[in-house]
Amino acid sequence: MSKKSILAAVFLIFIGIIFGVVLVSNFRLGVEQGFAGDPQAKLGAPSQIKDPNYDYKALSKSFIEVSKAVSPTVVAVVVTSKAKSRSSDINEFFHFFSPDGKMPQPEPQQGAGSGVIISQDGYILTNNHVVEDADAGIEVILNNKHRAKAKIIGTDPSTDLAVIRVEGSDLPTAAFGNSDKLEIGEWVLAIGNPLGLQGTVTAGIVSAIGRRIGLIQDSKGYGIENFIQTDAAINPGNSGGPLVNMNGEVVGINSAIATTNARYQGYGFAIPINLARAVAEDIIKSGKVRRGFIGVNITTVDETMAKAIGLEKAGGVQVQTLEKGGAAEAAGIKEMDVILTVDDQDVNEPNQLQSYVARKHPGDDVTLKIFRDGKVFEKKVTLRARKEENLVASNKDDNQPESSESEVESSSKAVAYDNLGLSVKKMTSQERKEADVDKGIIVAESKTYSEAFNHGVQTGDIILEADRKEIYSPKDFDSIIKSHKPGDAILLRVKQKGTVVFLAIQIPK
């Protein structure tokens, strides 16, 4: 071997030894620092919260205590209905067939919801929609897995509430809170049996109060809604279960969700317990609800309406029509009155007044604070029982003269007010007869999203009065419009789909 080859081999061996030493050194360093095979390795870091008074379990303890206290009072309600044709439940064009090719016989249907025990002797509060199809039986599953048959004591479709009962004594009973004292942002828990998962607890806050969502309707088209809105997860099966505050008190009965996929999307609604308790007490005492009524049709008062009637600021609810022979009429309430408070409680939405009065009985008195013609005063109203007949206001006035304008001319021409998005024309004698009025002009068009449209004026409405003056022709209306300057609000009395209402429009600036 040449001298050069020997030197090259020695050099390579030397380099290899050096490289090996470096690798071993690095490996040992990694072991010493805990990166490989070190049983003493320490992961993570101590808490960075240094406050000695901080109790990281405090909030959790509250949730735990409330869950322990209330869960035993919550039950699953299993409802069985009689056999129904599947085709009506699925699709009239498709049917399920049995293996032999024959149509299967209709089978009983079963659904489940929740309920809360409200007395030691077995009364349970739940939703009407949970038990309304229970024509083949109701079974209740208690928190301890005990099963019992239940019977319906009474239902109230107007509030979507029902009371059922099981035989028992010394049953765990829920505590009632005061839903009138709830505040937006307050922590609440929803407890129930969503999607068949018994004894589920979810947490959230009160995200709104006094919600009306247009969901509840009884056979007469009457529904009482003043929902508590919460973002606590509520799903099918939660219906009838309690919404509870952090003192372990029931403040609502979970009833509905706002969703596009029939599952939780962040918006749940509960019936306030103050209303639910009054309904339950009536049902337990008499098997039905004895509810008092004022006998008014009311709407909210917006800024434009407030300006039109001389009210300092938007607030209260305005009386649109009165039930003939009703409590309000007997007490001297008039159309266009604004109800500001009931028993010293502010009223700014129709359902606030409605749900408060719904807790009362015929013969009970309520005190209303009224705004009328620039004055504020009080009226005591003795509530009466509800009249079932539909109310249609009459606008006849046989002493008023006909306008001198020709019917042909008025019926063929419409007067347009582009700034209002409104056009009107005189009514023909046939139109007046069909509408059961002998004055007024008809709205030929109310353009979508215009000033008139946004304040409730609809195509086909009949304007009976403007600025508290009776209207017989477009000329009458035109003179009133031209007498006002931009920014002024004008009060209208309108017959809309058979009902007389008050609306207000503002002359755009």
Neighbours of 373 (CB within 10 A): 9
Q: Is 160 marked active-site?
A: yes
- The catalytic residue among 156, 160, 337, 461 is 160
- The catalytic residue among 239, 410, 423, 450 is 239
| pLDDT score for 396 | 31
pLDDT tens digits, 246-277? 999 999 999 988 877 777 788 899 999 999 99
Q: Is 450 marked active-site?
A: no
- 262 vs 236: CA distance, rounded Å: 8
* pLDDT(182) > 80: yes
- Burial code (b: 16+ CB inside 10 Å, e: under 16) for 458-480 equals eeebbbbbbbeeebbbbebbeeb
Residue 218 pLDDT grade (very low, low, confident, very high; cuts 50, 70, 90):
low
| pLDDT score for 185 | 96
Query: Where is average pLDDT lowest: 68-72, 132-136, 390-394, 473-477?
Result: 390-394
| pLDDT score for 387 | 67
| pLDDT score for 94 | 35
Residue 195 pLDDT grade (very low, low, confident, very high; cuts 50, 70, 90):
confident
| pLDDT score for 20 | 55
Pick the residue with more confidence: 221 or 445? 445
| pLDDT score for 265 | 80
pLDDT tens digits, 200-214? 999 999 999 988 887
Structure tokens at 362: 């015929």
| pLDDT score for 110 | 79
Q: Is 62 marked active-site?
A: no
CB 444 within 8 A of CB 425: yes
Mean of the per-residue pLDDT values of the chain: 82
* DSSP structure string for 148-201: EEEEEEEEETTTTEEEEEES-SS---PEE--GGG--TT-EEEEEE-GGG-TTEE
CB 252 within 8 A of CB 272: yes
- The catalytic residue among 129, 302, 455, 467 is 129
* pLDDT(172) > 90: yes
* pLDDT(64) > 90: yes
